[in-house]
Structure 1
Amino acid sequence: MSENYGRASYDFANAVAVVTGGASGIGAEVVAHLRRCGARVAVWDMAALADDDAWKVDVTDLDSVERAAQEVVKRFGRIDFAVNSAGFAGPTMPLDAYDPLMWRRIVDVNLVGTFNVCRAVVPHLRAAGAGRIVNIASLAGKEGTPNASAYSAAKAGVLALTKSLGKELATTGILVNAIAPAAVHTPILAQMSPAHVQTMIDKSPMQRLGESIEVAEMVAWLCSGSCTFNTASVFDLSGGRATY
């Protein structure tokens, strides 16, 4: 990334954010970036973390999510931002070869999990009369990735949920937006063959993968006071790969 133009800076002092999937990958970078900007960040993840502000949360378990939301409000007094970054890609294979239980698990984590978190935090945001929700979707939800029917369908659902909820809350002071990244350089790529990773790079007009910090920078803008007239929107982060 070029540093020639300078980077935006944000003052999130006194703001409280919840970031799901915050233990690794994009979520961890979002946590770090929001903290650098002064926010207090509650990390929700299935992994156990040596972090005083981490909660072990299964986003597919509504009771777990609602308990964590109440505990965050009890500790910090409020929730201002919710970033839904928890995700699960699952295996890649033809639709008719998928184990139905695995297919459903992928949809549960990516789509139902996003619903559960939104359902738990929206009452707190509505009571405050302000807030930001940012859903990390995927270009797969717009274009459909072959041999990833569950992940593509779930992320398409996240995009539609974002548009629906954003319109529901448009007059409340709560803005709801989604980011649709193409392939991002995260540890999960180590699970893929070098040839598969190279194929993803070759599809990018910029001829590279995205970086987690680039996602985090967009999350910060969407949470900031500079974003005021964007809601129910999808922001591509694809190096030019997105076609609509």
Structure 2
Amino acid sequence: MNLGITGKRALIIGGSSGLGLAAAQALAAEGVDIATFARNSEVLTSVSDDIKANHGVDAQGFSGDITVQADVQALRDWVETTGGINILVLNTPRPPSPMRDFLDEDDDLRWNDAYTNQLQCALYVLRHLTPLLLNKGWGRIIGVTSASIKQPMPRHAVSSIFRAGVQTALKHLVEEVAPHGITVNAIAPATVMTPTFAQFHNLERRVSGTALKRAGTLDEFGGTVAFLASQQAGFITGENIQFDGGMTKSLL
């Protein structure tokens, strides 16, 4: 299937590894030029070189800290001067580790860290980068949240509370950007075989909680991002796509 996005340009926040890198690779395979944002400039250079070699598209990286508003502003300026973007993939850092029961989360530093790394930085990105899509006449905003925002998981309070905030921010954008031809959706993953997930001590228990009895792959995740970015997904907006192998049991 031709997804109709060849020649578009995507910015992937947190695109140097894991879910973000999977999104970048999948979009590049569809002919999308790639811009990535993460802390490590050397890794970003390696990722860009790999994408260019394997997919024949333009790929560039811009290093900075997503939790620092000045860095996100600098990213906006760089994006604007290098041709703008049509697709924004918002992938934020992980919550504090180890995860704890809600009543055991009595350390304000952990709560502040979770807020900064998962919600505040997302607000920085949406506020500063969304305006760059408005004059294109077509666009896609895709947020990465968590399956725990629909069905809270044990010991995930510092994740699900702020990921739910990201989902709420995306919902607020839906009506505002629709007149500009922009859709806004979220993917809510759980049990995806990232390098971090592979190290979990409770890996077998987490996998057994899915209907499919396996972890999702990075290729499957990237493919889901690519579909939401596609022309064929143009009538899908305001949705939260559960990417959890049937782990979530709710009807809606």
Q: Does 1:240 align with 2:234?
A: no
- Mapped to 2, the partners of 1:116 and 1:17 lie a distance apart of 18
Letter in 1 for 2:208: D
Q: Equivalent of 1:164, from 152, 156, 172? A: 172
Count of aligned pairs? 234
- The structure 2 residue matched to 1:174, chosen from 167, 171, 182, is 182
Structure 1: stretches of 5+ with no match in the other structure: 1-7
Are positions 1:199 and 2:205 aligned together?
yes
Q: Which residue of 2 aligns with 1:26?
A: 19
Aligned partners of 1:222, 1:90: CA distance in 2, in Å? 29
Match of 1:23, SS state, is coil
* Corresponding residue for residue 88 of structure 1: 94
CA deviation string 1:212-244 (max 9, x = no partner): 111111111111111121111111112122223
In the other structure, the counterpart of 1:3 is none
The residue type equivalent to 1:74 in the other structure is T
Distance in 2, Cα, partners of 1:29 & 1:136: 12
Deviations 1:16-48 (A, max 9, x none): 110011111111111111111111111111223
| Cα distance in structure 2, aligned partners of 1:40 and 1:79 | 9
Residues 36-92 of structure 1, C-alpha deviations (whole Å, 9 max, x = no match)? 1111111111223224511112112122112112112212x1210000112213221
Contact 1:162–1:233 (CA<8 Å) still a contact in 2? no
| 3-state SS, counterpart of residue 170 of structure 1 | helix
Mapping of 1:1-244 within 5 angstroms?
8-48=1-41, 49=43, 50-51=45-46, 53-75=60-82, 77-91=83-97, 92-98=99-105, 99-193=107-201, 196-244=202-250
Contact 2:5/2:231 (<8 A) preserved: no
Separation in structure 2 between the aligned mates of residue 69 and residue 14 of structure 1, nearest angstrom: 20
TM-score, normalised to structure 2, is 0.87
% identical aligned pairs? 27
- Would you say the 8 A contact 1:22–1:86 is kept in 2? no
Q: Which portions of structure 1, spanning 4 or more consecutive aligned residues, are displaced by more than 2 angstroms?
A: 8-14, 94-99
Q: Unaligned stretches of 5+ in structure 2?
A: 49-59
Preserved contact between residue 203 and residue 241 of structure 1 (Cα < 8 Å): yes
Cα-to-partner distance string for 1:123-158 (whole Å, 9 max, x where unaligned): 111122321100011101111122121101111112
SS at match of 1:236: strand
Please give the secondary structure, in 2, of the residue aligned with 1:171.
Answer: helix
What's the Cα RMSD here? 1.6
User: What does residue 5 of structure 1 align with?
Assistant: none
- 197-206 or 157-166: bigger deviation: 157-166
- Tell me the SS of whatever aligns to 2:231: coil
